[in-house]
């Protein structure tokens, strides 16, 4: 087990799993003031994008082959494990050993080995409805998956009920989210979760996602609390933990320059926006949504489609990149040497940074995102 860092003056170290183009990492860095020191991404073209934006972070590669006792300890571990088997548009294999989504177990292994103070997880809405099989713990007799709890698609209505989702009723099939929360509880992490659509962040699409934050129960808090960085966020009066006697504003924290643009997006999210005539002419009933996202991202909407006489129109990667709220060229820069299909695949599998940031901040504050 790694020791908890003893100093609270250094930036938090972040480890990234299933990293993609770094959408969740941008949100976590912005929220914590930390910096990502390593990542794990198996898809080589997408890993090239991440490495371009985090040039000092080595890629640990295939998560199933990592020796965690040889990995640099981190304060924060984040990742969105594969969603194919829990997605409502997938084959419904669920969260189980041998499935892509079952790679969650390797993330749980990383949590157990590294003992980060904070864990941040993102995944699709299907975590609420997909079923799960929790692997038996070696050397134990626990009855996690009794025979009569093995689900079939027709029994999804019989999934475990209630808000805790920890598998308290063993005769009911276990939800995927319940398996994740149960594993975190077994690892002695206190977890909370929220589901919210990208449209709540102002995006012109729904893209509902589940976000989980978990704090280690026995951690000696880094930065006087790590919910997320209390020392750098506390606006109270009186003696401060940063060794001076003045209040610090809520955004008083060193942040990596690569996340500076997120500050502007957060500040513009609540602004009232009215579409202009050109929005109405070009976008019709979508004019309000497009105008609002242009305002939040401070970017004009790119052309939405690429026309091809043989194959017809297809989504333009630059437009999808804009829909995800990313800076121009984050994924589509020609220097990354990705094909248009690779760009769209990377973007489609990624995380919308502003949505993730609002979710993480709302979990930190215990309030509804606004």
Q: In this predicted structure, what is the pLDDT of residue 38?
A: 98
Handedness of CA 229, 235, 241, 242 (dihedral sign): positive
Distance CA 213, CA 199 (A): 21
27-50: average pLDDT: 95
Walk across the sheet containing 13-17 and list its strands: 35-40, 13-17, 76-79, 118-124, 209-216, 189-196
Identify the DSSP state of 60.
-
Residue 134 has pLDDT above 80, yes or no: no
β-bridge partners, 122: 211
Q: In this predicted structure, what is the pLDDT of residue 59?
A: 98
DSSP characters for 205-254?
S---EEEEEEEETT---TTTT-SS-HHHH---SSS-TTSSSS---TT-S-
Which segment of 86-90, 201-205, 278-282 scores lowest on mean pLDDT?
86-90
Residue 21 has pLDDT above 50, yes or no: yes
Residue 95 has pLDDT above 70, yes or no: no
6-30: average pLDDT: 88
Distance CA 367, CA 259 (A): 23
Q: Locate the domains of the chain by residue range.
A: 13-230, 277-350
Distance CA 221, CA 236 (A): 19
Distance CA 40, CA 82 (A): 13
Q: In this predicted structure, what is the pLDDT of residue 136?
A: 54
Instruction: Band the pLDDT of 92: cuts 50, 70, 90.
Output: low
Q: Which residue has the higher pLDDT, 250 or 100?
A: 100
Instruction: Band the pLDDT of 128: cuts 50, 70, 90.
Output: confident
Identify the DSSP state of 132.
E
Domain 13-230 has CATH 3.40.50.150: yes
295-321: average pLDDT: 89
Q: In this predicted structure, what is the pLDDT of residue 312?
A: 74
Distance CA 248, CA 279 (A): 41
265-277: average pLDDT: 94
Instruction: Band the pLDDT of 150: cuts 50, 70, 90.
Output: very low
| Nearest CA-CA partner of 225 in 247, 245, 242, 244 | 242
Long-range CB contacts (within 8 A, 24+) of 125-128: 125/88, 125/195, 125/208, 125/209, 125/210, 126/83, 126/86, 126/87, 126/88, 126/90, 126/176, 127/86, 127/95, 127/175, 127/176, 127/177, 127/180, 127/210, 128/175, 128/176, 128/177, 128/195, 128/210
Q: In this predicted structure, what is the pLDDT of residue 367?
A: 65
Percent of the chain whose predicted confidence (pLDDT) is above 90: 56
348-360: average pLDDT: 95
295-300: average pLDDT: 96
Which segment of 45-54, 118-127, 146-155 scores lowest on mean pLDDT?
146-155
Mean pLDDT over all residues of the chain?
79
Residue 225 has pLDDT above 50, yes or no: no
Distance CA 106, CA 125 (A): 21
Instruction: Band the pLDDT of 228: cuts 50, 70, 90.
Output: low
Percent of the chain whose predicted confidence (pLDDT) is above 70: 69
Residue 201 has pLDDT above 70, yes or no: yes
146-150: average pLDDT: 37
**In 79-198, where does DSSP find H-type helix?**
104-114, 176-186
Virtual torsion, Cα 331, 335, 339, 345, nearest 10 deg: -20
Distance CA 353, CA 101 (A): 22
Contact (CB, 8 A) for 336 and 190: no
370 alpha-carbon distance from chain centroid: 18
Distance CA 111, CA 133 (A): 19
Q: Which residue has the higher pLDDT, 318 or 137?
A: 318
Contact (CB, 8 A) for 28 and 14: yes
Contact (CB, 8 A) for 133 and 145: yes
Instruction: Band the pLDDT of 93: cuts 50, 70, 90.
Output: low
55-83: average pLDDT: 93
311 three-state secondary structure: coil
320-326: average pLDDT: 97
**The model scores a pTM over 0.75:** yes
β-bridge partners, 174: 132
Which segment of 153-157, 183-187, 343-347, 361-365 scores lowest on mean pLDDT?
153-157
Residue 356 has pLDDT above 70, yes or no: yes
């Amino acid at each position: 087990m790694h020791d908890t860092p003893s100093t609270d003056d250094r930036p938090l170290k972040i480890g990234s799993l299933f990293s993609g183009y770094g959408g969740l990492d941008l949100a976590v860095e912005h929220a914590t003031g930390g910096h990502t020191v390593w990542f794990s991404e198996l898809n080589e073209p997408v890993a090239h994008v991440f490495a371009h934006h985090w040039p000092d972070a080595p890629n640990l590669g295939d998560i199933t082959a990592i020796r965690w006792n040889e990995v640099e300890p981190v304060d924060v571990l984040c990742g969105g494990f594969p969603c194919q088997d829990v997605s409502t548009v997938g084959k419904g294999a669920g969260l189980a050993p041998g499935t892509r989504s079952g790679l969650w177990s390797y993330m749980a292994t990383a949590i157990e080995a590294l003992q980060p103070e904070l864990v941040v997880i993102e995944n699709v809405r299907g975590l609420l409805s997909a079923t799960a099989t929790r692997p038996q713990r070696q050397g134990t007799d626990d009855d996690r998956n009794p025979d009569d709890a093995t689900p079939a698609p027709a029994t999804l209505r019989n999934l475990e009920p209630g808000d805790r989702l920890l598998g308290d009723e063993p005769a009911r099939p276990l939800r995927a989210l319940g398996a994740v929360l149960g594993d975190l509880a077994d690892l002695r992490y206190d977890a909370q979760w929220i589901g919210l659509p990208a449209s709540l962040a102002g995006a012109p699409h729904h893209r509902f996602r589940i976000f989980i934050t978990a704090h280690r129960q026995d951690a000696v808090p880094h930065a006087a609390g790590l919910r997320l960085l209390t020392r750098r966020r506390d606006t109270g009066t009186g003696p401060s933990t940063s060794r001076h006697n003045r209040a610090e504003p809520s955004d008083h924290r060193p942040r990596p320059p690569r996340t500076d643009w997120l500050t502007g997006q957060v500040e513009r999210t609540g602004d009232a926006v009215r579409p202009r005539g050109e929005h109405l002419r070009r976008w019709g009933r979508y004019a309000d949504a497009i105008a609002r996202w242009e305002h939040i991202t401070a970017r004009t909407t790119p052309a939405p489609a690429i026309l091809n006489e043989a194959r017809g129109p297809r989504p333009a990667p630059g437009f999808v990149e804009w829909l995800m709220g990313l800076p121009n060229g984050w994924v589509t820069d020609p220097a990354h040497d990705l094909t248009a299909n690779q760009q769209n695949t990377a973007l489609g599998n990624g995380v919308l940074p502003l949505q993730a940031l609002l979710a993480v901040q709302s979990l930190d504050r215990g309030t509804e995102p606004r």
